[in-house]
Chains A and B, each alone.
Chain A
Amino acid sequence: MFKFNNINLDIWTETYGIGFYLSYLSRWPDLCCVQEAPNGRMMGYVIGKAEGSNTEWHGHVTAITVAPEYRRLSLARKMMTLLEMVSDETYKGFFVDLYVRCANTVAINMYEGLGYSVYRRVREYYGNLGIGKGGRDEEDAFDMRKPLSRDPHQRSIRMNGRDMLVRAQDVS
């Protein structure tokens, strides 16, 4: 946390209170990972958790981010792979999911490229960003999912997720 400024001074990356990071680390340390450059600088990190009951048991990507100077090096791709692997093998989850602002097209395209698809759209999931007039896209989030080996029939995803609207109160 003392060294993540080059990553966190970013508009899509939230800086949370101490409790946020420590609570993830105190429960799912193996779903949290930091990548360092050979010179010791932090390049990016991913924070995740495992949650849900029965067939909803899954890995969740809470935050993933890469410092501007280390983007487009497949770092995000690798961190997602690691998190999927641990969710699959250690936690035996059915799928991995994540929330992303509907306005964050770079990230959404990337997730789609990595095999994720939109499961539903969550209204007013985020607080206001205060940049320009992006309207609803700024506060709404897509819930995106990718099935793991325990879900061979891909029951955890669906085709028309972008049109499934739910309210923020209704999701965990």
Chain B
Amino acid sequence: MSTALDRQIRPIYDALDTGSNKSAIVACNKLLKKHPKNELIKALKALALVRSQKVEESLILCDEVLDLKPTNDAVLTAMMHVLRGLGRHKDMVTMFEEAYKQQPSNEELGAQTFFANVRAAQWKSAQQIATRMHKQFQEDRYLYWSVMSAVLQANDVSTPIAMRMLLYKLAHRLLTSSPTPSYLNADRFHLHIFILRELELFDEARKLLDSDVGKTICATNLSCDELRRDIWQRCGMIKEEGERAQMRIVEDQNRNWLEFLSVLNATFCYLDPSQNDSSSTLSEGAKVHCAEHITRTQELFTRLALEDGSKDRSSMLGLLELEGRARKYGLSTSPARLVTLMEHYFEEIGDKACCFEDLKPYLDLEGNECLKWTSFLEATPASFNSPNELRRLINSHKLLRHGLSQSELTVEAESARALLYTKYFMDGLQLGVALPSSELQPADDFALLAGNAWVSLWNSTSDESYLHKAVALLEFALTRSPQSFQARMILIRIYRLLGAPSMALEHYRIMQIKQIQHDTLSHLILSRASTFSLAATGDLTLATECLESTQIYLSNSQETGDFIVRAFTSEKYSQIPEFIEFEDRLDNSLQRDIVKMEHLRMRLAHEPITSDIIDMELIELKFIFDRSHHDNRDFDIITNYQPQGSSSINDQTHLFGKAEGRGWLGAFLKLYIRAFQHGSDLDDTVEEKLLIGDRPKQSADLEKKPLRERLLQRQDEEIAELTADEVPLVDYATALANWLEPYHDYTRPPPSVVLAEAARQTELKTGHPLKGVDLQSLNGIANGNGRKDEDPPVVTEPPELVLKYFEQLKSRLLELRNNPSPVRALHLATLAQEALLLFTVETLRFRSSSVVKINKLGGLVTSFKSIRADAIVVLQEMSTELIKMADVSSTMDSRNMFTDSCNSLTTLGIDQDFLVGVAKKVTEARKKVLEGVGKGLTRVTSL
């Protein structure tokens, strides 16, 4: 390339780097006039176009460049970004393969081709290329790339089970051909051992591990050591592993819990059926051996616990676990020991926050043991002289609460407990007055305990005043301990239950959820968020929250692949499978698609429903429908302090008492896919032609049934996750879809016509024909209009379910009129709105009078008109009702009701003015959402 041209191209790069895509395009156009054939300028223009969302135009240039089979480094790099932007990883592979074929001695091109395959997860060809590169360039690492690729292919979902062993054998064969031993590098060693384990070549693995180098590697590399432990276990060396672990504990002072587990497993290995010759009955001999070993381990741990004192808890935990397991096998020698150990543990560790979680697995006590333990805990003095004393008191109450039986959970007893926790909380605050606001208050957990108690009272009585108390105390706690995210999360849940979503959002924002936390924690605010969405009135707060939370999935698909490639370059093979799993878990995240669904429901209330929206959403929903989802949501984060026989605070505070998951998503996906299919002209053949980018990978197991069949199935899991008001919506939508399907199928234009139209549109927009669609041959069909010979289906009466749906909603709403919390009413109202919007989607096609006339469907349209009119009346009545509720929700009376609920808190020292402030905020938040949803209903009826 001439340097003059070089100089002219530089500004294009600068523009692209700074995101000025427009000026990049202008600069490209200028240069293209002079150099109309230049590949690089075309590639750069294509890149600028993708980045400015001009996909169609970019596609044309992109294909032009691809056809030229570029080999120039700069062109390839630019094209790599273009193809990535278009999601065409497979084409990227082809491009590099072509280039590499032309310049087989170019090592860099070889590596790029390999990486392109890695990004597209095409392990088989990645493996072949790496092998070829190894032959040609004689670098060991290419051999390891090829080995790793074979392993990844074996693990891939699309690989049939039968193939897996063959691939591991291939990997093994490749490895043994290596001129240098794997132990030169810990990660190569890891890969080697991993393959031997999968092939169950344990002797070979052990030989490597037992060598001096092997031992050295395992001593400093935790992942290699983990593999070693697993291999020892699998080849029955549980006892040896126990001895080794014991040595590390005693001699190296290692206190890794995994070492303790190894000792414990060795202690009980005699009872493991796989270790025994006679499989079913345990021989007495085994029991005797085990009992002896228990005594030895007990002596060891007791001695260590004495040495460590409260400095390290591992040995004491080891003793507890030992006793716990001994009991399970009936080998405990002293019935009193468990409680004695627990008491001892509490004495040593009771002033650390982890004590409660540590003891939890052993709390299932009965009879006298339970009494002894309870009275021991009850004897903990309620003194507040130091943070340590306070933590001990907190732990005793957590443990006591955990052990409460159902009969101890009367309203009186729970109320008394909640007040006691509150009192202790207020008393404990004095210990933290000097702390900066960035530190947590040591007394915080008493506020959480009180919160738990009140939530449980609300749960059993449905009396909202308990939630008011919880809100007041937790809000107060946050003024003292602003970093307490535990208090915030309970508040978020309660505010949603109370129908005060803006308060929930306020707390959620303060938590500064970011990055990956959007995947694990956005459920706090986005679960069934369309209930609170004011999108119909143009307020997109929640819709925006949905979009923001999905950024993480984009950066996952853009970035994670790079790091997989980087791990290959730096030869950190041990990380690669984990990166791939991570990418997959995010890509197929359940929360991602639940949020997608919520966003769609909000979107339809906001934007006019057009066939463009329907087509686009349909394609996306069909992709989602084929995913197998991973549930990454973190529900354990809300620490549970409810008694062991009760449901957890997480379960108790789900909106409408129903947690949504795969079933809920499945039900709504089916509902919308069917409605959109009816509203759309795209069938599968058309979609195939128009789709840009790769399709998702399909797993090899079980051939799937056809989409149509799957859409019509209804599973128990789905119904179980729907609320009592969502079920009728699903029934209504199904009835509506079944009724109208034949008319849609009959009147939908044939694929050739649809394609011809799409091609015409593209040509109008870009001046180029649509690739892969032969207009000439289509034209004939399009003009000859593919009308069917059969008669149109006879017009039938609308099904009962559809006719009655809206009426029933109205009577449900009237039933709810006197509910203190407005959430049910909001739920009904937003579902009614959704039902009307679905009706619009299902009837859009018949708005065209020519379609109706040609197909003699006038009767159908008459039914539509009357259903729609009835629905609108109902929605308007609902709107009036909500606005009435809004008016009474934020009055002096309603505020007084709130503060009256909290009377008992004022006596404990929470200021009345503070309570009034909280009451005001809550009632105003309620008013706002009722009013907004109410107004939204009217707006939707006028669409």
By a beta-carbon cutoff of 8 Å, the part of chain A in contact with chain B is 1-3, 5-6, 8-12, 15-19, 22-23, 25-27, 29-30, 33, 36-39, 41, 68-74, 78, 85-86, 89-90, 103, 106, 131-132
Contacts and interface: CB of A to CB of B under 8 A. Distances in A.
A30 B186 contact: yes
A30 B354 CA distance: 27
B722 to A, nearest CB: 27
Given A29-B223, A30-B220, A33-B222, A15 B579 contact: no
A18 B559 contact: yes
A38 B552 contact: no
The 8 closest A-B pairs by CB, nearest first: A22-B563, A26-B567, A9-B485, A69-B353, A26-B566, A5-B637, A1-B516, A2-B632
B574 interface: yes
Contact of B560 (A22, A33, A73, A78): A22
How would you classify the secondary structure of chain B's contact residues: helix, strand, loop or mixed? helix
Kindly name the residue among A15, A68, A90 whose own CB sees the greatest number of chain B CB atoms within 10 A: A68
Kindly name the residue among A9, A103, A131 whose own CB sees the greatest number of chain B CB atoms within 10 A: A9
B440 A8 contact: no
Contacts of A22: 559-560, 563, 566, 579, 582
Interface string B222-238: 11000000000000000
B335 to A, nearest CB: 24
Given A22-B579, A38-B321, A69-B357, A90 B636 contact: no
Interface in B305-359: 311-313, 317, 321, 352-354, 357-358
Given A5-B521, A11-B483, A25-B579, A73 B515 contact: no
A18 B517 contact: no
Contact of A27 (B223, B511, B572): B572
Contacts of A9: 485, 511, 637
B353 A23 contact: no
B634 interface: yes
Contacts, number: 119
A18 B555 CA distance: 8
Interface in B807-858: none
A44 to B, nearest CB: 11
A10 B483 CA distance: 7
A41 B636 contact: yes
Contacts of A12: 438
B698 interface: no
Given A2-B634, A5-B520, A17 B353 contact: no
Interface residues of B, number: 56
A17 B552 CA distance: 8
B352 A26 contact: no
Contacts of B255: 78
Nearest to A69: B353
A18 B560 contact: yes
A26 B555 contact: no
Contact of A18 (B511, B556, B566): B556
Given A5-B637, A12-B438, A23-B563, A71 B353 contact: yes
Contacts of B579: 22, 25-26
A74 B313 CA distance: 10
Given A2-B520, A18-B515, A22-B579, A37 B574 contact: no
A30 B222 contact: yes
Interface of B: 186-187, 220-223, 255, 257, 311-313, 317, 321, 352-354, 357-358, 360-361, 436-440, 483, 485, 511, 514-517, 519-521, 552, 555-556, 559-560, 562-563, 566-567, 570, 572, 574-575, 578-579, 582, 585, 632, 634, 636-637
23 contacts: A2-B519, A5-B517, A6-B637, A10-B483, A17-B515, A18-B515, A18-B555, A22-B559, A22-B560, A25-B563, A25-B567, A26-B563, A26-B579, A29-B223, A29-B572, A30-B221, A37-B354, A38-B358, A70-B353, A70-B354, A73-B313, A106-B439, A131-B437
Kindly name the residue among A29, A78, A132 whose own CB sees the greatest number of chain B CB atoms within 10 A: A29
B234 to A, nearest CB: 21
A39 B361 contact: yes
A79 to B, nearest CB: 12
B301 to A, nearest CB: 14
A85 B220 contact: yes
Nearest to A39: B357
Contacts of A18: 515-516, 552, 555-556, 559-560
A22 B559 CA distance: 9
A68 B448 CA distance: 15
Contacts of B360: 39
B753 to A, nearest CB: 45
A69 B354 contact: yes
B163 to A, nearest CB: 28
A12 B439 CA distance: 10
Nearest to A86: B220
A47 to B, nearest CB: 13
B331 to A, nearest CB: 21
Given A38-B257, A74-B311, 11 more contacts: A5-B520, A6-B637, A17-B515, A18-B515, A18-B556, A25-B567, A38-B358, A39-B357, A73-B354, A74-B312, A85-B220
A127 B361 CA distance: 42
Contacts of B556: 18
B514 A15 contact: yes
Contacts of A90: 220
A38 B572 CA distance: 28
Nearest to B589: A2
A21 B483 CA distance: 24
B727 to A, nearest CB: 32
A146 B832 CA distance: 66
A103 to B, nearest CB: 8
Nearest to B570: A27
B444 to A, nearest CB: 9
A68 B555 CA distance: 30
